Amino acid sequence: MQTDSGYQLVRLNNGICSVRSLADYETFHPVIGPVAEAEALYVNQLRLRERVAQTTGEFVIWDVGLGAAANILAALRATRGIPCQLRVLSFDHTPEPLKFALAHAGELGYFGGYEAHLASLLRDRRVTFQDGAQSVDWEFHGGDFPTLLADLKLNPENIKHFPAPHAVLFDAYSPAKNPAMWTLPLFTDLFQRLDPQRSCAMPTYSRSTILRVTLLLAGFYVGVGHATGMKEETTIAANSLDLIAEPLGQRWLERAQRSHSAEPMVEPVYRTAALSPESWARLQAHPQFSILR
């Protein structure tokens, strides 16, 4: 299908169009398509409608991996009928996938009504708008996300520009393609940006042992996430156990100990290894497992 600016429209087996990065050999939402995956993985799993309706003041979403905007647009559509204030911070190293997708909005089919807002976001890096009872303040932050988080740690005066999220839509390229986005330092820095007084959940598409161990050692509670596409499980992490319907328990912990791919990456170089004695000790001491015994 049509190719432009390093991206290509592809038609999935179910007939729905998605975007493919030619440089990274990655297709966005490759099995069930952008809308169905975003709704299953993020909107429904986060109980977004319920949580937004219950929040007084602004509800903050960190959209990590803006890509072609399917995830965050699903979130906006799902809550447009709720009187609410949404603050959205989208992060990506480049806006090019969104530029390409917006130029092919008709074929992709999920942009309806948001085209002008997205054009403003691309031009000005910020857009505010009212959609019925919903008020949206949306920013785009380009560049390297791990570097941004590390800089916030070194320059805490900038934290006020990045309010702690109630929800994180985490959709980076796979660890083999983009290991920098899946390291223990990255998730530790992300966890430290959360507000302990503000419950926050973060689903993502992977169910790998190495990811789940990494999230636990970064400080998150971690559970089994909803199925989507061909994945029987995904993963959900949170700073509150109350946001996780099916927390990982002792049986998973025993499997992690036996796994040959469980030790977190501490550098942006993809590799697999069994748990180190130090990581195993820290994992056993995680409050999730003492609570669930």
In a domain, 261, yes or no: no
In a domain, 24, yes or no: no
pLDDT of residue 229: 67
In a domain, 14, yes or no: no
CATH assignment of the domain containing 115:
3.40.50.150
d(CA 154, CA 171): 25
pLDDT tens-place string over residues 157-202 = 889 999 999 999 999 999 988 999 999 999 999 999 999 999 999 9
In a domain, 275, yes or no: no
In a domain, 213, yes or no: yes
Mean of pLDDT values over 14-21: 88
pLDDT of residue 228: 76
Domain carrying residue 112: 30-248
pLDDT tens-place string over residues 202-261 = 999 999 999 999 999 999 999 998 877 667 899 999 999 999 999 999 999 999 999 999
pLDDT tens-place string over residues 57-103 = 999 999 999 999 999 999 999 999 999 999 999 999 999 999 999 99
pLDDT of residue 232: 81
In a domain, 202, yes or no: yes
**Judging by DSSP bridges, how do beta strands 221-225 and 126-131 pair with one another?**
unpaired
In a domain, 255, yes or no: no
Within 8 A by CB and 6+ apart from 190, the residues are 149, 168, 218
pLDDT tens-place string over residues 248-281 = 999 999 999 999 999 999 999 999 999 999 999 9
Indicate if the pLDDT at residue 293 is higher than 70.
no
Mean of pLDDT values over 94-123: 94
In a domain, 61, yes or no: yes
Q: Name the domain count of the chain.
A: 1
The structure tokens listed for 176 are 């083999």
pLDDT tens-place string over residues 39-59 = 999 999 999 999 999 999 999
φ, ψ of residue 238 in degrees (nearest 5): -160, 165
pLDDT tier for residue 135 given thresholds of 50, 70 and 90:
very high
Indicate if the pLDDT at residue 2 is higher than 60.
no
pLDDT tier for residue 140 given thresholds of 50, 70 and 90:
very high
Mean of pLDDT values over 2-20: 82
